[in-house]
Structure 1
Amino acid sequence: MGVKSFFIVQEAPANALSLNKDFSQVVIAGRNVFKVLHIEEDRFVERLNLRIGKSLNLSFSSNDVVWNPFDETQLATAATNGQVVLWDLNKASRNKQDHVFSEHKRTCNKVTFHPSEPHVLVSGSQDGTMKLFDVRKRDVAVTFQGNTESVRDLQFNPSQPNTLAAVSENGQVQLWDKARADRCVRSLTAHNGPAYACDWHPSRAGWLATAGRDKAIKIWDTVNGTIRLVGTIPTMASVGRVVWRPQREHHIASAALLVDCSINVWDKQRPFIPFAAFSEHTDVTTGIAWKGDPRVFLSTSKDSTLYLHRFEDAERPADRANPHGLCLSADGDLGIAVRQTPEAGGRPPRRPLSSSDLFRLRRSVLSTVRAPTEPAPVSDWLQESARRYLLHGRAVADMCEHNAAVATSLRRYQVARTWRVVKLLYTSSREQPAGRATWEERPAGADGGAADPEPKASRNVSGGGGETKAEDAETDCDEPEPEQNLATIASGLANAQGDFFFGDGEVNEMCLDYDDLDVAPDYTLPTEAFEPRHELADGSPPPESLQVGAETAAIEPAAAAAAAAARLPANPAAVEQLNLSLLAIPASLVADWPVGSVVADMLQHYAVDGDVQTAVSVMVVLGDRLRPHLQSAAAEHWCMAYLELLARFQLWNVATEVVRLSPIPTVSCLNQMVLKLQCGRCGAALERTGWWCHKCHAPSTCALCHRVVRGLQVWCQGCAHGGHLSHMRQWFSSNRMCPSGCGHKCVPVK
């Protein structure tokens, strides 16, 4: 039996790793860790700790690390303060820093050595530039100005060493010639969102893999001077790392940027399910490197572990997948999918099939059964719900009731029940202002909800004589006043508010409703001469009248109602009966119930079930009330999935509203991205105005009519050409190439 996978735990997470040229040592680097370890047969042995010394500054905090492929004593790191640091492992002192380049203005994200010139080092930074350093002369040789957002990854092409690929946060992929730094050779908007990683194929010339936040790995063919899409691998989460598998032409490994902790190995020929999965890490993977062998690779993670994975320990998701599928459409049609073995599709194979061949040759047969013609239910419920939902501008109860009515009109009774449960839980007595009646005090309205009570007068009197004018009691207050004696005053019946007023004795002027005021009075006095033995909730019965187990019996229906909101069948009669039972739950007991965690679990259930619209809508309506109970990474994943759905249906206004109202900071900042316009002639950024270049002193003209564009315009991020909106719309309705004649394909391939 061979050696299994093994790992070592570090004192801090690592952001990157790199192997030396003979794959016998590995270096890991992060914000608080920087070590060189020797790789033995069944363990890691620490060889050198580079994060030691008296002057530990930000240059020791690294985002990326790379080993010189020709010199095992030289390392390079990309520091969080923008510095590029060279390290000499043979240096006699404890501090192995050899030289520091301080050329970047912002954080440095990536460093890489030239595959054939050991003295050439390139870095990419958050400032949008790439620097080419000559490590022999200790200076900057070339600066590549891409005029894009921050550069997240860059790699030299092993088959064409002078070709450099770079991906940036605006989704662009740029190909550069090392000898020409004035502008890129080719550029393409490859991803619908930021691009985070790229990797050249080790044996297939010209194949470049890119990945980004749009949850897709795209494979491009750059041979013959063009960029052509040859494959797309959809994933379940945003991709932060991609690395081709050596000696396997169609296999590529990936790691998610958030949510998913597994490392997946994909087969390009069957892209919808991973060929193999490694789930040893308990947090997001930050680095992947193959150990010169297609069966062994190393990985680091935010869980502070360094793993050596062997392929015989991999999970096979396809083997665990259900070979049969059943689906019912909104129109009542039934679809049945059955797996078909390779032998059933034709002649038997000439040679025994390997595991890779069996994985690639799997086929399925789909059969459909049409439902009888009848009035079909509403099939576009997602679009209608997105358009009609209220997410802000009213009280939580009003928005929940409105959204429940929308869901009911679309025959989504389960979602309507959920909105009413949320309304009940977040409008209980604990959120009522002082003097407001609780749920059990309110008469039921016509809609089955709790109606607002009539304003009650506050009987604030001075003294205990109880001599009040009868006509004042009849005209100003609707309820009879309790007898003003010592017993009633001490018990609080004479003063429901617990406040005393000292004035001119006119009682009719004191019948005030504090709900009409902006602020409640800030003076309170105890209503009893003795401190109570325990606190009593407003509206709750005295402790002597509560029986053992009564509180538990009252809370259990509330818990059952919340669970039923996500699981009971969609029956209108059952919904109405459940709503009535919900109103019967004492609000004083619901107020003590852990509402936030239960609602967060309910939204998790909806998200796992595929209904991210309900999860995100409830989260946006509740806002900061629910935010402490949510996992920010999972909530961000829900929001990004919902925004992607809205983009597919071109509901841009709704998507903008969701971004603006989202309680997740990483989502609410999406609409704050600023794109810099570029001059179509010199490529410089248009800083001051959008129609005049202060570098070449030329106006921005339309590529069709050649007139100055001062108003609304369309601009291509790839070639920087554009023009009037109406002209560009007319041109691109039948063309894909740029109208200026520069040869750039402005319309991406779908």
Structure 2
Amino acid sequence: MNQTFRTKSRHGYSVKFSPYLPQRIACATSQYYGIVGSGSIFVLDVDPSGVRVVQQFEWSEGVFDLTWAENNENILVAAGGDGSIQVWDVSQPQGPLKALREHTKEVNAVDWSQTRNEHFVLSASWDKLIKLWDISQAQSIETFQGHDHIVYQVSWSPHVPGCFASASGDHSVRVWDCRRSDGCVALIPAHEAEVLSCDWCKYDQNLLFSGSVDGLIKGWDIRKPAHPVCVLRGHKYAVRRIRASPFSGSIVASASYDFSVKIWDTEQELCLDTVEHHTEFVYGLDYNLHVPGQMADCAWDELVHVYQRPLNLP
């Protein structure tokens, strides 16, 4: 069953399913397409009767991404247009528990580590920096430098503790290791245009996917990054978000500025399905870890869709 929620004058940037509650999603939105104005975070519960707002948080500037805590079902961390990352408690309707401010420009992305016991969060910004945080502390633990342009996304490895990837406007994807003094362990000149998204295969610790303004999705073996292991062609415009399936090592979903979501078989380099239910740029995309085949997306048309796609697509 498909469910739809309208964010009402807020344009969708990111949507994430809760790792704890199968019915719960959070959506990061911004006013006026994120150019000016404030932002809102919607925490939603989805069931056959519809979509219910559990909590709505307001921020003075746009909110461009969010991530659920891996150790507390009520904690969210959000990325702000004012350079902040905010820590929110869904069980408390008042303002954020804290706002951490070190980035000097907009924060594009945040991600919570899935492989370590610490409360580690990454943030990526227009200031070209990536920061590592323990949200129980007032300052960041470490700052990673190397990208020559905006860092659009960071993604923790689901397999290797301390390892993460980043996607940047400098056309590259980088792989980093928090345990090494030099940080960056692989520089992949992935595309001939800005790289907007990256995500790890959930079944192969060496396989990383990238999506770019050139409309292409590429798969990379990080041990041999000279050539991609697959190239997926079909989007007409920029690929804004990639999500590797948690249920199949060969399935990847992508969201694009061409208003569509596509589902791909990376082994056959084949588009299996195209979902066209938005009328604006699609920014957010996620899989539900608890419900096989269930997905959510959000777009600049003020709509959040939650829907089911068959796992056994032809």
Q: CA deviation at 1:240?
A: 0.8
Structure 1 position 122, deviation (Å): 0.9
2:289 matches 1:303: no
Q: 2:261 aligns with which of 240, 263, 268?
A: 263
Cross-structure match for 2:213? 213
Distance in 2 (alpha carbons) for counterparts of 1:122 and 1:211: 20
**Distance between the aligned counterparts of 1:147 and 1:19, measured in 2?**
29
Instruction: Give the Å deviation of 1:35.
Output: 1.4
Secondary structure of the structure 2 residue equivalent to 1:50? strand
**What is the deviation of 1:99?**
1.1
Residue from 38, 54, 57 that aligns with 1:50: 57
After the TM superposition, which residues 125-274 of structure 1 pair with which residues of structure 2 at under 5 Å, given as runs?
Answer: 125-223=125-223, 229-235=228-234, 236-256=236-256, 258=257, 260-272=258-270, 274=271
Native 8 Å contact 2:186 2:222 kept in 1: no
Q: Which residue of 2 aligns with 1:107?
A: 106
Report the alpha carbon displacement of residue 229 of structure 1 after superposing the two structures with TM. Answer: 2.1
SS class of match (2:12): coil
* Distance (whole Å) between structure 1 residues aligned to residue 56 and residue 147 of structure 2: 38
Report the CA distance between 1:138 and its aligned residue: 2.2
Q: How many residues align?
A: 301
Contact 1:20 1:69 in 2 (8 A): no
Amino acid in structure 1 at the alignment position of 2:191? H
Unaligned runs of 5+ in 1: 315-353, 357-750
Q: Work out the percentage of aligned pairs sharing the same amino acid.
A: 22
Change (3 A) 1:181 1:125: farther
- Looking at structure 1, the residues matched to 277 and 6 of structure 2 have their Cα atoms a distance apart, in angstroms, of 13
Instruction: Give the equivalent residue in structure 1 for 2:35.
Output: none
CA distance in 2: counterparts of 1:198 and 1:147, whole angstroms: 15
Match of 1:279 among 276, 289, 293: 276
Q: TM-score, normalised by structure 2?
A: 0.90
Question: 8 Å contact 1:68–1:75 — kept in the other structure?
Answer: yes
Structure of higher RCO (CA pairs closer than 8 Å, 6+ residues apart): 2
Q: Which deviations, in whole Å up to 9, do the C-alpha atoms of 1:430-462 show, x marking residues without a partner?
A: xxxxxxxxxxxxxxxxxxxxxxxxxxxxxxxxx
1:118 CA drift (Å): 4.5
SS at match of 2:127: coil
The one-letter code matched in structure 2 to 1:86 is V
Letter in 2 for 1:284: F
Q: Is the 8 A contact 1:62 1:77 kept in 2?
A: yes
Structure 1 residue identity aligned to 2:29 = G
Q: Does 1:36 align with 2:43?
A: yes
Q: Is the 8 A contact 2:147 2:170 kept in 1?
A: no
Question: Any conservation in 2 of the 1:143–1:181 contact (CA below 8 Å)?
Answer: no
The AA in structure 2 aligned to 1:290 is: Y
Query: 1:142·1:181 contact (CA, 8 Å) conserved in 2?
Result: no
SS of the equivalent of 1:33 reads strand
Q: In the alignment, which residue of structure 1 is the partner of 2:70?
A: 69
Quickly say closer, same or farther: Cα 1:186–1:233, change in 2 above 3 A: same
CA distance in 1, matches of 2:278, 2:108: 23
CA distance in 1, matches of 2:285, 2:118: 22
Query: Aligned residue for 2:4?
Result: 7
Structure 1 residues 57, 181: closer, same or farther in 2, change over 3 A?
farther
For 1:308, give the aligned amino acid.
V
Instruction: Report the Cα distance in structure 1 between the residues aligned to 2:313 and 2:113, rounded to whole angstroms.
Output: 36
- In the alignment, is the contact (CA less than 8 A) between 1:9 and 1:305 conserved in 2? yes
Whose radius of gyration is greater, 1 or 2? 1
Find the residue that maps to 1:229 and give its secondary structure.
Answer: coil
Extract structure 1 runs of 4+ deviating beyond 6 A: none
CA drift of 1:204 comes to 2.0
Q: Note if contact 1:89-1:96 (Cα within 8 Å) is conserved in structure 2.
A: no
Shift of 1:140: 1.1
Deviation at 1:157, TM superposition (A): 0.8
Which amino acid counterpart does residue 108 of structure 1 have in structure 2? V
Q: Is the 8 A contact 1:112 1:123 kept in 2?
A: yes
Change (3 A) 1:35 1:189: same
Structure 1 residues 98 and 299, CA, compared in 2 at 3 Å: closer, same or farther?
A: same
- Counterpart Cα distance in 1 of 2:29 and 2:7: 11
Tell me the TM-score normalized by structure 1. 0.39
Is the contact between residue 15 and residue 27 of structure 2 (CA under 8 Å) also seen in structure 1? yes
- 8 Å Cα contact 1:159-1:206 kept in structure 2: no
Provide closer, same or farther for how the CA distance between residues 226 and 275 of structure 1 changes in structure 2, counting only shifts above 3 A: closer
Taking the TM superposition and a 5 Å limit, the aligned residue runs for 1:116-131 are: 116-131=116-131
Question: Against the structure 1 CA distance between its residues 281 and 181, is the aligned structure 2 distance closer, same or farther, given a 3 Å change threshold?
Answer: farther
Determine if contact 2:87/2:98 at 8 Å carries over to the other structure: yes
Return the offset for 1:206: 1.3
Opposite residue 47 of structure 2, the aligned amino acid is: E
**3-state SS of the aligned residue for 2:141?**
strand
Match of 1:414 in 2: none
Following the alignment from structure 1 to structure 2, what is the Cα–Cα distance between the partners of residues 252 and 159? 17
Per-residue deviation, 1:67: 0.8
Provide the rounded CA distance (Å) in 2 between the counterparts of 1:64 and 1:268.
Answer: 26
Q: Cα deviations across residues 181-216 of structure 1 (Å, max 9, x unaligned)?
A: 534111121110100000001112211000101221
Structure 1 residue 33 displacement after superposition = 2.6
Root-mean-square deviation over aligned CA pairs: 1.9
Aligned ranges 1:687-698 → 2 under 5 Å: none
Deviation at 1:132, TM superposition (A): 0.7
Query: Which amino acid is 2:145 matched to?
Result: Q
CA spacing shift, 1:265–1:226, aligned 2, 3 Å: closer
Q: Where does residue 33 of structure 2 map in the other structure?
A: none
Q: Distance in 1 between matches of 2:266 and 2:82?
A: 38
CA displacement at 1:39 relative to structure 2? 1.8
Contact 2:188 2:225 in 1 (8 A): no
**Cα separation, 1, equivalents of 2:85 and 2:225:** 32
Residue identity opposite 1:180 in structure 2: R
Instruction: Provide, for residues 510-562 of structure 1, a one-character-per-residue CA deviation record: whole Å limited to 9, x for no partner.
Output: xxxxxxxxxxxxxxxxxxxxxxxxxxxxxxxxxxxxxxxxxxxxxxxxxxxxx
**Separation in structure 2 between the aligned mates of residue 141 and residue 57 of structure 1, nearest angstrom:** 26
Offset of 1:147 from its aligned partner?
4.0
- Structure 2 letter corresponding to 1:289: D
- Contact 1:88/1:97, CA 8 A, preserved across alignment: yes
Per residue, is there more helix in 1 or in 2? 1
**How far apart, in 2, do the equivalents of 1:170 and 1:219 lie?**
18
Please state whether the residue corresponding to 1:97 is helix, strand or coil.
Answer: coil
Which amino acid in 2 is paired with 1:65? Answer: L
Hey, what's the Cα distance between the residues in 2 that align with 1:37 and 1:157? 27
Give the AA of the match of 1:46.
V
Partner SS, residue 14 of structure 1: strand
Give the Cα separation in 2 of the matches to 1:89 and 1:239: 31
Letter in 2 for 1:24: Q
Pair 355,141 (structure 1): closer, same or farther in 2 beyond 3 Å: closer
Partner in structure 1 of residue 17 of structure 2: 19
